[in-house]
């Protein structure tokens, strides 16, 4: 017979965790780390299934292969995710839904429009 705690919340260790003065910060950092690990996993999975090498992505982005490696290890911004998605021939769509209303966080810009805008900026440098 497996014994289980009648109520997992009646656990002094869990109570201590919630009462810790840095609980909110630790919780936020943990959530961020879990999200980051998920992004890394899915980016790697997409890249491998579509047979995109880091070298090929680097060529598409006009950066070095080690820079792509770093981007894939820690995609820290929406811009990085967008660049990786477009380099693999994809797009990035980020939406937020509140009370049934959904809004694009990319402000209606299509991937093509963003890419064209960036290329124009680069040509003016």
Q: What is the pLDDT of residues 59-82, one digit of tens each?
A: 999 999 999 999 998 877 888 888
> Is the same domain home to 70 and 114?
no
> Is the same domain home to 77 and 102?
no
Q: Place 1 in a pLDDT band, splitting at 50, 70 and 90.
A: very low
Please indicate, yes or no, if residue 1 is contained in any of the structural domains. Answer: no
For 105, the token pair is 């966080």
**Nearest partner of 90 among 111, 113, 104, judged by Cα:** 111
> Is the same domain home to 40 and 81?
yes
How far is Cα 14 from Cα 90, in angstroms, rounded to an integer? 43
Say whether pLDDT at 28 is over 80: no
> Is the same domain home to 99 and 52?
no
Residue numbers of the domain that contains 108? 94-125
How far is Cα 20 from Cα 96, in angstroms, rounded to an integer? 31
With b for 16 or more beta-carbon neighbours within 10 A and e for fewer, the 28-37 pattern comes to eeeeeeeeee
Please indicate, yes or no, if residue 6 is contained in any of the structural domains. Answer: no
Say whether pLDDT at 93 is over 70: yes
Q: Do the Cβ atoms of 91 and 63 come closer than 8 Å?
A: no
């Amino acid at each position: 017979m497996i014994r289980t705690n009648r109520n997992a919340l009646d656990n002094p260790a869990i109570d201590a965790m919630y009462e810790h003065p840095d609980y909110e910060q630790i919780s936020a950092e943990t959530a961020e780390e879990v999200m980051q690990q998920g992004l890394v996993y899915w980016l790697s999975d997409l890249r491998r299934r579509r047979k995109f090498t880091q070298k090929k992505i680097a060529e598409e982005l006009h950066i070095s292969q080690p820079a792509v490696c770093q981007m894939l290890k820690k995609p820290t911004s929406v811009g990085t995710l967008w660049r990786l998605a477009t380099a693999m021939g994809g797009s990035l769509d980020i939406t937020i839904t509140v009370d049934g209303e959904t809004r694009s966080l990319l402000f209606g810009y299509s991937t093509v429009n963003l890419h064209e805008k960036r290329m124009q900026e680069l040509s003016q440098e």
